Amino acid sequence: MVAPLALAALAIALAVPVPLLLARASWPARAPAAALLLWQSIAIAGGLSMIGALLAFGLAPFGDDLLSGAAGFAARGFLAVPLTNALALAGAALLAFHLLLNLALTVVRSERQRRRHAQLVHLLSSPLELVPGARLLDSPAPVAYCLPGAVTSVTVVSAGLVALLDGDEMTAVIEHEKAHVSQRHDVVLVAFRAWYASLPWFPIAFRAQREVGLLIEMLADDRARQVVPDSVLARAIVLVGAERGGAPLAASPGDWGDAASTDELRNRIARLDSRPLSTVARVAVMAAAVALLLVPTALLFAPGVSLLAP
C-alpha cells in the first residue's frame, strides 16, 4: 500500500497547494519558460498520480507493483478482484477516459474554430505588405493575433493598430506574434483548456489556464525584446491597452480578441525592469519539473523493473 498512498498524497499536493504557491510566486515572471515547463509537469504528474493511485490500489491484491499486479490481474480475471479494489480500477479507467476524451474534444473543437476563423479572415482582410503571411483587417479597433496551423499560420493585424503604432512598435507586435507561431503556444493552451474542461469545478484548473496564458504572453514579449528596446515594447502595450480599455497587445493564440485584465498588462510591463532569474535557479526549476514526472513513474514501475533486471 506504500505506492497508492504515496501517489494519493502527491496527487493532493499537486491538486491544490503546489499550484497555488506557484500562482502566487513572483519569480515566474523572471523565467517564464521555466515556469511554463513547471506548470506542464504539475498538470501531467497530477493526472498520472490520480490515475496511478487508483490503479495501484486496485491491483494491490495481485502484486506489489504495477507490472506484477497487472500480470496477476490478467491471470485471475476481474471476478477475482475484491469490491473496493474493483471500484478503484473502474475509477482509474473512467478518469483516464474522461481526461483523454476531453483532450480530444478540445483539440477537435479548437481546430474547427481555427479553420472557420481563418476562412473569415481571408474573406475580410488583405495581405499586409512587407510582412509575409500577415493579413490586414479593415477595422478601427487595434487588434493583433495569430492563427497557428499545422502547415501554415496567419498573423492578423487591424488597420486601427497600424494607424496607432509607429514602425518600431509595429515590429514589436509582429515579433510577438511570430513567437506564438514558432513556439506553438496554441498546443500548450489547448492542453490546459482541456484540463479545465475536464475539471470545471476544480478552481485551480481555471487558475492554471490563466497563469499559463500570461506566461505565454511574457514569452512572446521576450521574443519582441530581442528586436526592439524594452521601452518600445512597453509603449506598445500601454498604447494598445489604453485604446482598447485593458486589451492585450496580442490575443493569446485561439482566444481571438479576448481582453486581458489591467493587472495582467501591468505585470507584463513591470517585468521588463526585473532581472532574469539566475541560471542556477532556472536549472533548479527545470530539475523540479523533471522530478515531478519521475516520482509517480518510479512509484508505479520501479519495483517491477528491478525484478526484471538480471
Q: What local confidence, expressed as pLDDT, does residue 259 receive?
A: 46
Pairwise CA distance, residues 170 & 236, whole Å? 8
Vertex 210 angle, CA 147 and 253, to 5°? 5
In angstroms, the CA 98 to CA 218 distance is 32
d(C-alpha 95, C-alpha 273), whole Å: 44
- The model's pTM: 0.85
- Contact predicate 154/186, CB 8 Å: no
* Tens of pLDDT, residues 160-198: 989 998 989 999 999 998 898 888 888 899 999 998 888
At residue 229, what are phi and psi to the nearest 5 degrees?
-65, 155
Residues 80-125 pLDDT 10s:
778 888 899 999 999 999 999 999 999 999 889 888 988 898 898 8
Q: What is the DSSP string of 155-167?
A: EEEEHHHHHHS-H
Rounded to whole angstroms, how far apart are CA atoms 232 and 229? 5
Strand, helix or coil for residue 277:
coil
What residue spans define the domains of the chain? 1-81+278-310, 112-275
Q: Which of 29-33, 55-59, 244-248 has the lowest mean pLDDT?
A: 244-248
Give the span between the Cα atoms of 115 and 108, in whole angstroms. 11
Residue 55, pLDDT above cutoff 60: yes
Say how far apart CA 259 and CA 277 lie, in whole Å: 28
Under a CB-based contact definition with an 8 Å cutoff, are residues 82 and 88 in contact? no
